[in-house]
């Protein structure tokens, strides 16, 4: 019962309020003693209004701020004091109902978090000194070896050391079809193992797994409020004080200057207190934005805050990183070119040794090629990553560099010519050597199958400009841009160059999204109106910097997210127009003496319910034509 009350207490008290208000109305209509009917109304008052009364009074006492909750309670008590028990009870009920519906959107997002948390098993079986030990998930350490039996959830992000199985990754990537995993495959915490047993080496602690980052992002998003909502909340405080002042004047002026009775003036003041209160205005934004957050989370798009739902709806240009974003990020080595009859295997061995310290997809591909050829890889000393350019280190006492042409003091003409030929064919080419380049490595990455469809969907949504920004060569970048249908290419960029390109796009288009996955994308992600990171393959720096995360690295979700943002903006604008319009209409009618308290309650609280329900429309999955 306690759990039920904790989860559904607000809905239960609202239902109790409704029952007693209805019972009181039926008793009054039947002509039974008014004291009996008023008693039922009083219980309805308490059930539906006690939370608002406590919260509003606490805020008034502690922070000396008057809020809408307390205004509604005061208006209801004022109505009862002059004999309008039913009108006050109806006000309390409708106000409680609107609050319950507003909380529904937040509860949906909270349930999303709870369902994500439920994906993580609480314990894991670890091999320590040849003995199987059951430990809590938070006690797992990097390089621990865990045993995963058939049909169990994988307890940590890691790499398969032994075994083969089909793994259901739908909770992380959204893929409906289980993925075959074997030695060397990456696996994620919370995914479900199939029929095979696996031994997995842990690569990330419990708090840094993909699923843990997703949970943290959703929780962070709930806590952030957009600037427009903060403005409304500040405005609401000042406005509430003006409403109270207006209600006082409604009592004082008519009784002193116009000869009204106190009861008549107080009645008109209570009507004003109800119809002028900004309840609908306060409910115009957050239910809609929280619904959009929940919608996105259920469809593979995590917003770090409702601010970014708004911002994404205004996007006019999108800049894509190439490697790992438009492409799969898993290039393979397809050719080696050496100079002066050098030993290709020896040069590749040194290059792979340097790249063994790198997490860049190109480095991973070079190491994989060396291992495929059975070459021994040694850990380099004095390793240094040159972001956007390459890497260097000392291997076997010899300095060795891997990267772009500008990293070398001398590049033989034969390598320059071969690099141009290979890049013209759409390959990525890196050079390796000491001061002098001695080896050219050609790699090919495949464009994501849904990349072109995503670009076409963005165009249908009216996104004006699609650009590729990459540190890769001009020829390779242009080949990728042609394949996906992008408008323009900016190639050979360092991180600072990407920032300058994004700043130029911002100056031209005003609202720009950048999509990336790597460390070198982080400055551009931070500069953009909205930074979008790949959730599975993205680096920690990119994920921390970005405003939106694609859970399954599915760039086809970007058009969905933009359309969701646009619909959220439309719904919020519609709600604000409705809220302000109803307030102006009802206040005007009250000033002219043309509206009763029941009509004012129904009109004002009805508009609050309307905008709240309007916001909840965004919980529905949207279709992009």
- Residue 295 belongs to a domain: no
* Mean pLDDT score across all residues of the chain: 83
Position 389 scores a pLDDT of 84
User: Would you say residue 17 has pLDDT above 70?
Assistant: yes
Q: How many helices (H) and strands (E) does the chain have?
A: 21, 22
- Please, is 73 exposed, middle or buried when counting C-beta atoms within 10 Å of its C-beta (0-12, 13-18, 19+)? buried
Do both 15 and 99 map to the same domain? yes
| pLDDT classification of 500: cutoffs 50, 70, 90 | very high
Do both 316 and 341 map to the same domain? no
Do both 524 and 435 map to the same domain? no
Position 274 scores a pLDDT of 80
pTM: 0.68
Do both 317 and 376 map to the same domain? no
Position 446 scores a pLDDT of 86
Do both 93 and 239 map to the same domain? yes
| pLDDT classification of 12: cutoffs 50, 70, 90 | confident
Token digits of residue 56: 């509003």
Do both 81 and 227 map to the same domain? yes
Last residue of a domain, one of 144, 179, 206: 206
User: Per residue in 506-558, pLDDT tens?
Assistant: 999 999 999 998 777 888 888 999 999 887 777 777 777 788 888 778 899 99
Q: Please tell me which residue in 87, 321, 521, 553 is annotated as part of the active site.
A: 321
Contact (CB, 8 A) for 157 and 112: no
Do both 438 and 405 map to the same domain? yes
- Residue 216 belongs to a domain: no
The alpha carbon of 185 is separated from its chain's Cα centroid by a whole number of angstroms, namely: 28
135/190: higher pLDDT: 135
User: Would you say residue 63 has pLDDT above 50?
Assistant: yes
Q: Diameter of the chain by CA atoms? A: 110
Q: How far, in Å, are 331, 367, 432, 521, 526 from residue 494 at the CA level?
A: 20, 24, 19, 9, 15
First to last CA, the chain: 46
User: Would you say residue 467 has pLDDT above 90?
Assistant: yes
In the chain, the number of structural domains is: 4
User: Per residue in 81-124, pLDDT tens?
Assistant: 877 788 788 878 877 876 777 666 556 555 555 555 555 677 88
- Please, is 453 exposed, middle or buried when counting C-beta atoms within 10 Å of its C-beta (0-12, 13-18, 19+)? middle
Q: What is the CATH number of the domain that holds 338?
A: 3.40.1110.10
The 8-class DSSP code of residue 64 comes to -
Q: What is the CATH number of the domain that holds 470?
A: 3.40.50.1000
Do both 437 and 453 map to the same domain? no
Length of the chain equals 625
| pLDDT classification of 190: cutoffs 50, 70, 90 | confident
Do both 475 and 525 map to the same domain? yes
Do both 188 and 248 map to the same domain? no
- Residue 560 belongs to a domain: no
Region 475-485: mean pLDDT is: 89
How far apart CA 208 and CA 138 sit, in angstroms, is 11
Position 354 scores a pLDDT of 93
How far apart CA 349 and CA 338 sit, in angstroms, is 13
Do both 517 and 615 map to the same domain? no
User: Per residue in 544-578, pLDDT tens?
Assistant: 778 888 877 889 999 999 999 999 999 999 999 99
Is 487 designated active site? no
User: Range of 385's domain?
Assistant: 332-444
Helix (H) or strand (E) holding 460: helix 451-460
User: Per residue in 346-386, pLDDT tens?
Assistant: 999 999 999 998 877 888 899 999 999 999 998 888 888 88
Do both 96 and 233 map to the same domain? yes
- Residue 297 belongs to a domain: no
| SS3 state at 600 | helix
Please give the order of strands across the beta sheet that includes 548-550: 301-303, 548-550, 530-534, 512-516, 317-321, 465-469, 488-490
| pLDDT classification of 45: cutoffs 50, 70, 90 | confident
- Residue 593 belongs to a domain: yes
The alpha carbon of 129 is separated from its chain's Cα centroid by a whole number of angstroms, namely: 42
Continuous H helices in 84-169: 85-117
- Residue 471 belongs to a domain: yes
- Residue 118 belongs to a domain: no
- Residue 177 belongs to a domain: yes
């Amino acid at each position: 019962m306690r759990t039920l009350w904790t989860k559904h207490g607000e809905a239960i008290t609202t239902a109790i309020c409704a029952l007693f208000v209805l019972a009181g109305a039926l008793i009054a209509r039947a002509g039974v003693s008014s004291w009996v009917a008023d008693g039922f109304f009083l219980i309805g008052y308490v059930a539906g209004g006690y939370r608002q009364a406590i919260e509003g009074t606490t805020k008034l006492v502690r922070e000396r701020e008057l809020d809408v909750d307390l205004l509604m309670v005061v208006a209801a008590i004022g109505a009862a004091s002059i004999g309008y028990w039913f009108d006050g009870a109806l006000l309390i009920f409708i106000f409680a109902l609107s609050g319950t519906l507003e909380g529904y959107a937040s509860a949906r997002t909270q349930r999303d978090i709870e369902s994500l948390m439920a994906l993580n098993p609480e314990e894991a079986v670890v091999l320590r000194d040849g003995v199987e030990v059951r430990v809590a998930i938070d006690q797992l350490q990097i390089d621990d070896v865990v045993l995963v039996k058939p049909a169990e959830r994988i307890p940590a992000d890691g790499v398969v050391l032994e075994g083969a199985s089909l793994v259901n990754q739908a909770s992380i990537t959204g893929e409906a079809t289980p993925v075959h995993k074997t030695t060397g495959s990456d696996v994620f915490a919370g995914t479900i193992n199939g029929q095979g047993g696996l031994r997995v080496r842990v690569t990330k602690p419990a708090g840094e797994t993909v699923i843990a980052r997703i949970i943290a992002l959703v929780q962070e998003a709930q806590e952030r409020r957009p600037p427009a909502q903060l403005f409304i909340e500040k405005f609401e405080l000042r406005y509430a004080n003006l409403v109270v002042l207006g209600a006082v004047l409604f009592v004082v002026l008519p009784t002193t200057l116009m000869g009204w009775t106190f009861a008549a003036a107080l009645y008109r003041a209570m009507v004003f207190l109800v119809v002028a209160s900004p309840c609908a205005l306060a409910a115009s934004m957050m239910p809609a934005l929280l619904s959009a957050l929940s919608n996105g989370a259920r469809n593979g798009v995590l917003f770090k805050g409702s601010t970014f739902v708004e911002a994404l709806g205004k996007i006019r240009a999108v800049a894509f990183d190439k490697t790992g974003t438009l492409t799969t990020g898993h290039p393979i080595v397809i050719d080696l070119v050496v100079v002066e009859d050098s030993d290709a295997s020896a040069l590749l061995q040194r290059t792979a040794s340097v790249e063994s310290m790198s997490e860049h997809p190109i480095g991973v591909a070079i190491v994989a090629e060396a291992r495929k050829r059975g070459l021994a890889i040694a850990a380099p000393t004095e390793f240094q990553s040159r972001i956007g350019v390459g890497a260097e280190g000392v291997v076997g006492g010899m300095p060795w560099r891997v990267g772009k042409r500008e990293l070398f003091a001398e590049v033989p003409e034969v390598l320059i010519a071969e690099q141009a030929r290979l890049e013209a064919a759409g390959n990525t080419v890196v050079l390796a050597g000491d001061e002098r380049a001695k080896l050219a490595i050609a790699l090919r990455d495949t464009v994501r199958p849904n990349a072109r469809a995503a670009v076409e969907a963005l165009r249908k949504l009216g996104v004006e400009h699609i650009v590729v920004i990459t540190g890769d060569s001009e020829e390779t970048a242009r080949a990728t841009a042609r394949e996906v249908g992008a408008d323009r290419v900016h190639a050979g960029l360092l991180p600072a160059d990407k920032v300058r390109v994004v700043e130029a796009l911002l100056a031209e288009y005003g609202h720009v999204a950048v999509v990336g996955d790597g460390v070198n994308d982080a400055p551009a992600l931070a500069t953009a109106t909205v930074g979008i990171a790949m959730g599975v393959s993205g680096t920690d720096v990119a994920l921390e910097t970005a405003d939106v995360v694609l859970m399954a690295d599915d760039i086809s979700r970007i058009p969905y997210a933009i359309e969701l943002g646009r619909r959220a903006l439309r719904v919020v604008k519609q709600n604000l127009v409705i809220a302000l319009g109803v307030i102006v209409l009802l206040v005007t009618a009250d000033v002219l003496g043309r509206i009763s308290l029941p009509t004012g309650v129904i009109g004002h609280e009805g508009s609050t319910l309307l905008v709240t329900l309007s916001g909840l429309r965004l919980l529905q999955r949207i279709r992009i034509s």
